[in-house]
């Protein structure tokens, strides 16, 4: 959600570098999530290992990791199957219009989800994300494969429709990002390993570090903001951004 706003460009290196740079940016975001939730991840992993080795009868840590795996699986499978089709979308001449349409549609969904949640407030909001929730959130996360659709927005909106509170929705979205972006990062790193050299590595490393610092700060501020506010403002922002881009594209044609 936050890693797509960095003002870097790989034009001097080519499209392959752009993809690889995105992965390093996303890796910085992954590290920020692991850093901020290091105690939770650590305790859940330890609890899971004790449960698997029969040293602990409490399955909650194991179930936590299973829910993350279930939620991550659909987009990993869909991304692998549709990777060639998705690559062609990125080269379309009307890509800006596609992005704008996705931003507007996503913004409307955020506003509808907030309205829907307020109507059901108190019914399910105290319940944690369950297995059924993880499956549904994972399925709708696949929408993020479409250019302009935010992975975080897709997962958070789905969680809100399922009646989850703002913090639970955002945190589960962050947790899902770890396996999804890690798998994408490994794939792209292997695919573009030939362009890793003394010219590109310093730039990639710099982007990674800036991403980690930026995302750590933004996630903290974001969660603090959600304690007193809803996601509605982000829906309005996406709608205004999409309309602005559509107007801009009309003038440059």
For the stretch 34-58, pLDDT in tens is 999 999 999 999 989 888 888 777 8
What mean pLDDT value characterizes the chain? 85
Residue % of the chain over a pLDDT of 70: 91
User: How would residue 5 be classed by pLDDT, with cut points 50, 70 and 90?
Assistant: very low
The pLDDT score that the predictor gives to residue 4 is 41
pLDDT for 171-197, tens place per residue?
999 999 999 988 888 888 888 888 888
What's the whole-number mean pLDDT along residues 115-120?
Answer: 79
Residues 6+ apart with CB under 8 A from 52: 62
The pLDDT score that the predictor gives to residue 95 is 84
CA distances in angstroms from 24 to 15, 148, 184, 201, listed in the order given: 14, 19, 11, 10
Phi, psi of 160 (to 5 degrees): -70, -40
Question: Is 124 a residue whose pLDDT tops 70?
Answer: no
The pLDDT score that the predictor gives to residue 55 is 76
Residues 6+ apart with CB under 8 A from 121: none
Predicted TM-score (pTM) of this structure: 0.82
Residues 6+ apart with CB under 8 A from 115: none
Is the model more confident about 87 or about 47? 47
Tell the residue number behind the tokens 């330890």, with chain if given: 46
The pLDDT score that the predictor gives to residue 2 is 47
Q: How far is CA 6 from the centre of its chain?
A: 15
Is the model more confident about 73 or about 147? 73
d(C-alpha 121, C-alpha 174), whole Å: 23
The pLDDT score that the predictor gives to residue 147 is 86
């Amino acid at each position: 959600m936050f890693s797509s706003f960095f003002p870097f460009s790989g034009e001097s290196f080519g499209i392959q570098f752009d993809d690889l740079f995105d992965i390093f940016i996303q890796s910085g975001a992954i590290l920020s999530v692991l850093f901020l939730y290091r105690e939770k991840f650590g305790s859940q992993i330890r609890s899971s290992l004790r449960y698997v080795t029969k040293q602990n009868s409490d399955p909650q840590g194991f179930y936590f990791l299973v829910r993350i795996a279930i939620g991550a699986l659909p987009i990993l499978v869909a991304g692998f199957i549709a990777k060639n089709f998705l690559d062609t979308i990125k080269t379309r001449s009307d890509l800006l219009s596609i992005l704008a349409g996705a931003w507007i549609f996503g913004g409307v969904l955020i506003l509808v989800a907030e309205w829907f949640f307020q109507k059901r407030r108190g019914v399910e909001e105290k319940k944690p994300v369950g297995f059924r929730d993880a499956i549904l959130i994972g399925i709708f996360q696949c929408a993020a494969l479409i250019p302009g659709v935010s992975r975080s927005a897709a997962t958070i909106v789905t969680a809100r429709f399922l009646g989850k509170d703002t913090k639970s929705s955002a945190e589960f979205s962050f947790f899902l990002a770890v396996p999804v972006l890690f798998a994408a990062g490994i794939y792209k790193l292997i695919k573009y390993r030939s362009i890793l050299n003394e010219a590109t590595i310093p730039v990639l490393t710099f982007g990674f570090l800036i991403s980690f610092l930026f995302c750590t700060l933004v996630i903290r501020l974001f969660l603090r903001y959600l304690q007193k506010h809803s996601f509605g403002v982000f829906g309005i922002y996406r709608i205004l951004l999409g309309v602005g881009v559509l107007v801009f594209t009309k003038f440059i044609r």
